[in-house]
């Protein structure tokens, strides 16, 4: 495998980590705005109800805000191949995997409840898959961060 292929594969993972961070940030903003009743609580409450998948990525707005921060920082740091960024990404990716275990088990045990229109399930599945694949990829390519 040439160096450029490894670089582009890592770029994809870095962008996915940053994208998951952006989803956490969006969830945190919506959750915090609705909990404090700021700016159109009816509209935000309706969005929050429809975007339960985003809510499933974190138990509260503050937790999602912290995870968003660390996801984005680790994604940016991994572009520079910083060792600390890889470790940080391993931690946040593993948290995402753990948070997705219960919904994935429920989906496996009762697949008839799965709906392609349910944003929550789709987001949880995507973050779970990215978490597993990203974690494995970082372990395999860990030498590049030395």
Each residue's pLDDT tens digit, 42-93: 555 555 555 554 544 445 677 778 888 999 999 999 898 888 988 999 999 9
- What's the pLDDT score for residue 75? 93
Q: What is the pTM of this model?
A: 0.73
* Segments making up each domain of the chain, as ranges: 3-145
- What's the pLDDT score for residue 36? 64
CA distance 76 to 51: 26
- What's the pLDDT score for residue 74? 94
**Residues 29 and 60: beta-carbon distance below 8 Å:** no
Q: Distance of CA 36 to CAs 18, 33, 40, 50, 146, Å?
A: 27, 5, 11, 19, 44
Whether pLDDT at 13 is above 50:
yes
CA distance 81 to 67: 20
């Amino acid at each position: 495998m040439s160096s450029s292929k490894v670089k582009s594969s890592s770029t994809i993972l870095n962008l996915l980590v940053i994208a998951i961070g952006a989803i956490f940030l969006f969830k945190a903003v919506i959750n915090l705005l609705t909990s404090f009743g700021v700016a159109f609580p009816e509209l935000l409450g309706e969005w929050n109800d429809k975007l339960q998948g985003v809510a499933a990525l974190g138990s509260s707005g503050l937790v999602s805000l912290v995870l968003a921060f660390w996801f984005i920082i680790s994604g940016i740091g991994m572009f520079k191949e910083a060792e600390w960024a890889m470790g940080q990404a391993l931690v946040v990716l593993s948290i995402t995997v753990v948070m997705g275990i219960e919904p994935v088990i429920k989906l496996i045990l009762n697949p008839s409840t799965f709906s392609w229109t349910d944003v929550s399930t789709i987001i949880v599945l995507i973050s779970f898959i990215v978490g597993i694949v990203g974690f494995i990829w970082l372990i395999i390519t860990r030498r590049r961060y030395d």
